Structure 1
Amino acid sequence: MMRQITDTILMVRPVGFRMNEQTAVNNYFQTKLEGDDINEIATQEFDIFVEKLRYVGVNVVVVDDVPEDDTPDSIFPNNWVSFHENGQVALFPMFAENRRKERRLEYFAELEEAGFKITDIVDYTIAEEDDVFLEGTGSLILDRVNQKAYCAISPRADEELLIEFCEDFEFTPVIFNSYQTVGDKRLPIYHTNVMMCIADEFAVICLDTIDDKKERKNVVKHLKMDGKEIISITEQQMHEFAGNMLQVQGAEGKKYLVMSARAHRSLTDEQVKSIEKHCEILSSEIQTIETCGGGSARCMMAEVFLPKA
Structure 2
Amino acid sequence: MITRDIKAFVSHARTLAQDFGPPTARGAFLISPDGFCLAHESATDNRYMADATRFDAACATSEHHELHRALSEVVPTICFPGHDDTPDALFPNNVFATAEGRYIVGRMRHPVRQREAARDDIRAFFAGVLDYAEIDLSDQAHPCELTGSMVIDRGRGIGFCGLSERCDEVGAQLMHEAFGLRATLLFDLAPGEYHTNVVLALLAGRAALVCPRGFADPGVVEAVQDFYAPHAIVLSDAEHAAFAGNAIALSRDVAWMSAGAERALTPATRAALDAASFTVRAVPLDAIEAAGGSLRCCVAELY
TM-score category, normalised to shorter length? 0.7 to 0.9
Contact 1:174–1:219 (8 Å) recurs in 2: no
Tell me whether 1:58 sits opposite 2:67 in the alignment: no
Equivalent of residue 137 in structure 2, options 105, 124, 142: 124
Contact 2:46–2:292 (8 Å) recurs in 1: yes
Contact 2:68–2:77 (8 Å) recurs in 1: yes
Which residue does the alignment assign to 1:231?
233
Superposition TM-score, scaled by structure 2 size: 0.86
Contact 2:244–2:261 (8 Å) recurs in 1: yes
Q: CA deviation at 1:17?
A: 0.4
Contact 1:12–1:75 (8 Å) recurs in 2: yes
Partner AA of 1:192 in structure 2: T
Q: CA separation in 1, counterparts of 2:254 and 2:219?
A: 32
Q: CA deviation at 1:135?
A: 0.5
Q: Deviations over 1:71-112 (max 9, x none)?
A: 000100000011112x11111100110111112131243457
Which residue does the alignment assign to 2:63?
45
Which residue does the alignment assign to 2:197?
193
Superposition TM-score, scaled by structure 1 size: 0.84
Q: Deviations over 1:158-180 (max 9, x none)?
A: 1122123213433211112222x
Identity rate, percent:
25
Q: Deviations over 1:12-50 (max 9, x none)?
A: 112100121110001000012427x82211101101111
Tell me whether 1:97 sits opposite 2:111 in the alignment: yes
1:71-82 residue pairs with structure 2 within 5 A? 71-82=86-97
Q: Which runs of 5+ in 2 are unaligned?
A: 1-18
**Range with bigger deviation, 212-221 or 194-203:** 212-221
Q: Which runs of 5+ in 1 are unaligned?
A: 180-186
Runs of 4+ in 1 over 6 A off after TM superposition: none
Equivalent of residue 208 in structure 1, options 213, 227, 231: 213
Q: How many residues align?
A: 280
Query: Pairwise CA RMSD of aligned residues?
Result: 2.0
CA separation of 1:27 and 1:52: change in aligned 2, threshold 3 A: same
Tell me whether 1:304 sits opposite 2:302 in the alignment: yes
Q: CA deviation at 1:136?
A: 1.0
Which residue does the alignment assign to 1:184?
none
Contact 2:26–2:75 (8 Å) recurs in 1: yes
Q: CA separation in 2, counterparts of 1:236 and 1:270?
A: 13
